[in-house]
């Protein structure tokens, strides 16, 4: 798999809450660091002081879908410019818990927001100085039925504004992820996250070795 920055990888972890992505991101970071790579672990919304402040608003304050989408991309722009882009330019591996695929899945399919508007915002925020639309080099989509994810989360924490949505919302989000994966099969790899953690990690490791992320 080719990407524009020799030595630098941008890898995103996607899926609904409870899918297990946040468990495997630090595991991959540890494996990469063991091979001598410098790794930036980050998340969306968040990753910079400004984006983290916007995250708190997004997770806890009521707002309409347009405001939600605009804040997501505002946070992403700051995150990209101040954290992700400099790390990639330095040859680091960036592991990000969610990125733009989540916006299309949650705001686009979950909320029913206009996908054409999201396409426009994506181009505005992620087009670089050379006119290229920057996307992750690899996206791992941890797929799990919403009912299973809800059971996993129930014993872990009090739900935020998104996690408190009904199962029908997460079914739409899951369909949104499937649509993104179908449109970009060379980038997005579906991981069956219903299996035991060791089996899921084995597939993550296998995919990363096949793509040249891990030696």
Annotated binding residue 128: no
Give the integer Cα–Cα distance in Å for 191 and 200.
7
**CA-CA distances (angstroms) from residue 179 to 66, 170, 188?**
21, 14, 11
Annotated binding residue 176: no
Annotated binding residue 18: yes
Structure tokens at 44: 């969306």
Contact 100, 126 (CB under 8 A): yes
Annotated binding residue 19: yes
**CA-CA distances (angstroms) from residue 169 to 53, 67, 165?**
25, 18, 6
Task: Name the CA dihedral angle for 57, 59, 63, 64, rounded to a multiple of 10 degrees.
Answer: 130
Contact 136, 96 (CB under 8 A): yes
Annotated binding residue 16: yes
Annotated binding residue 20: yes
The structure tokens 């990407």 sit at 3
The structure tokens 């670089």 sit at 128
Residues in the annotated binding site for ATP:
15-22
Residues in the annotated binding site:
15-22
């Amino acid at each position: 798999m080719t990407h524009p920055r020799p030595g630098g990888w941008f890898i995103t972890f996607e899926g609904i809450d409870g899918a297990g992505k946040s468990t495997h991101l630090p595991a991959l970071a540890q494996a990469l660091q063991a091979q001598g790579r410098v790794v930036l672990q980050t998340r969306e919304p968040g990753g910079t002081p400004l984006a983290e402040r916007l995250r708190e608003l997004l997770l806890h304050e009521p707002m309409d879908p347009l405001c939600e989408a605009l804040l997501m991309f505002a946070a992403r722009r700051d995150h990209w410019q101040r954290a992700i882009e400099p790390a990639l330019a330095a040859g680091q591996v960036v592991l990000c818990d969610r990125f733009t695929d989540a916006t299309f899945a949650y705001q686009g399919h979950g909320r029913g927001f206009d996908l054409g508007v999201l396409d426009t915002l994506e181009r505005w925020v992620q087009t670089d100085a050379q006119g290229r639309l920057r996307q992750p080099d690899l996206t791992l989509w941890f797929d799990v039925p919403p009912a299973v994810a809800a059971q996993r989360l129930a014993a872990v924490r009090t739900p935020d504004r998104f996690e408190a949505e009904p199962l029908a919302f997460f079914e739409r989000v899951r369909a949104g992820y499937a649509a993104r994966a179908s449109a970009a099969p060379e980038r997005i790899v579906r991981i069956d996250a219903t299996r035991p953690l060791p089996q899921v990690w084995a597939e993550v490791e296998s995919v990363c070795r096949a793509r040249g992320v891990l030696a």
